Amino acid sequence: MTALQPAQLLFSATLAFSLLRTLPALVQFYRWFASSELEIANHRGYGQTGSKAYGFIPSPKLSVRAMASSGVAFISCLLLCNLPFAVDCIRPLLLCLALICYHLYFSQVYCEAHVGAHVTVMVPPTLIFLALSAAFDTSEDSEMLKSQAGAFTAWLVKVVIASSYSSAGLSKICASVQSGRCWWDGRTLQASIFEALLLCRPGTHSSFGVPTPFAHQLQVFAYRRPKLLLAPLSLMSVLVEALAPLALLLPPSIGSPAFAAVGLSFHYGIALLQNVDFVSWWGPCYAFFILDPAAAAGASQELFGPLSSAAASFTIAPYRTTLAVGYLAAHLFFMVGLHFFPTVEMLPFSCFPMFKHLKDLFDPSVRKWFWLSAKPHATGTLKNYCFPFCRPQTVLVEELDQLPFRYLLYGHGGSGGEVLHCNFEVSDELHDLLGGMRDGCCRQDSEAADDLLATLFKAQALFENSSEEKKISISYLSPKLDDALLGS
């Protein structure tokens, strides 16, 4: 066994577990989605737009059975490559098949709430680097040389992860410079937590299956303290992201476990405060930090530096190593280049602009969207960013009546007029509460945050307790709110 295999085993096992626990819900979602006759159901791919993989690989439109089979095959490949009979000549083939299954499976559910957008983008490069690893070569080279090559494979994975964090952090810094306001002033994170509270209810103790005890109470606590708590957390987040590559300069026995502890805690914090689960899908890739082959070398770890391990990998398998380095170069090239083309999607290539847009709940010049939805925030449901306030692909306004749940979307502030989209009759009392939320967002006093939250809770209670039946798709501007023209 080479030094890479424990990390590969941990990666495969944890990823297979995440796939297995979400498979039934995703198949059930796809069964509904494929037959929904919504416009978004005509697309397959990745990200918000349903783009082609890497910008050029199309995604087939699978039947429900084929989609489920690709998921089962994906899990099987991951598990089989860890079994004793999966000798080194078979393992790369199984990893290549796993990559194909990844594409077939996840491209079908691009607009699902749990696995859409950037949540699974670390899986393809990890599979590619493992499939190309010289550590699994069948040559007669020494185990020490193969262990060095395995350390190089782990190093490639670590560079992709660390550089992606850095790009995310730098995108927030650039957005701050462009807007003349610091992303880390606490107001953006406060708005993001408020958005989470649109979905999170008292009694919520998990997010997409990840335990998040007392998430609602913690979110309320944090939301009310933008300067005291959220500003320091925001600054820490930007620093951790932007400076992530520095961890690669530390000795592996120190830098790798420290990076894993900080990174996994960071993602768990996102799950806790924002109900977004990166832990299940980025977490498995942390196997190459937790069980870093270079760190496992102990006293001989100087032999596992990037240059010496690269030399070993090129010695054993020059062509495969060249392809792996080429993929890393492409990842870095597009990571930088896509900053200049923010509307282009080429997932898994990305500039990782997650959460970079500055927000402010109490600035009337900033456009805000609030929604009330009977759709649970759970695996196997539509994501919250495939509705009319987002860029395509989305559920169209005229399609809201086709949804199997009640939904209300209210937009105000900024340069656009006030907009109300819903698929049921809205009571006068609920209209008044929406107006109260709008008014609260125009205040700057110390009580504005608490009053806005209290009004939201009243609106949610009224929405949930309403006995009105879902009727027709309604898109209008209530005269109780404003006389401006309809807009979105």
pLDDT digits (tens, 9 = 90+) for 439-488: 999 998 999 999 999 999 999 999 998 755 554 445 544 434 443 323 33
Give residue 486's pLDDT. 31
* Structure tokens, 272: 């806790």
Give residue 152's pLDDT. 94
CA 351 – CA 345 distance, rounded (Å): 9
* Three-state SS at 353: coil
Is 168 in contact with 356 (CB distance < 8 Å)? yes
Per-residue pLDDT of 81-132, as tens digits, reads 888 766 777 899 999 999 999 999 999 999 999 999 999 999 999 999 999 9
CA 36 – CA 403 distance, rounded (Å): 9
Looking at the predicted structure, is the pLDDT value of residue 325 above 70? yes
CA 105 – CA 140 distance, rounded (Å): 37
CA 72 – CA 186 distance, rounded (Å): 43
* Structure tokens, 311: 């030399």
Per-residue pLDDT of 241-283, as tens digits, reads 999 999 999 989 899 999 999 999 999 999 999 999 999 999 9
Extract the runs of DSSP E, i.e. beta strands, from 204-340: 206-207, 210-211
How many Cβ atoms are within 10 Å of 390's Cβ, its own excluded? 14
Is 306 in contact with 149 (CB distance < 8 Å)? no
Looking at the predicted structure, is the pLDDT value of residue 341 above 50? yes
Is 272 in contact with 207 (CB distance < 8 Å)? yes
CA 327 – CA 311 distance, rounded (Å): 17
Instruction: Report the candidate in 445, 431, 456 with the shortest Cα–Cα distance to residue 370.
Output: 456
CA 233 – CA 397 distance, rounded (Å): 37
CA 476 – CA 463 distance, rounded (Å): 18
Band of pLDDT at residue 417, cut at 50, 70 and 90: confident
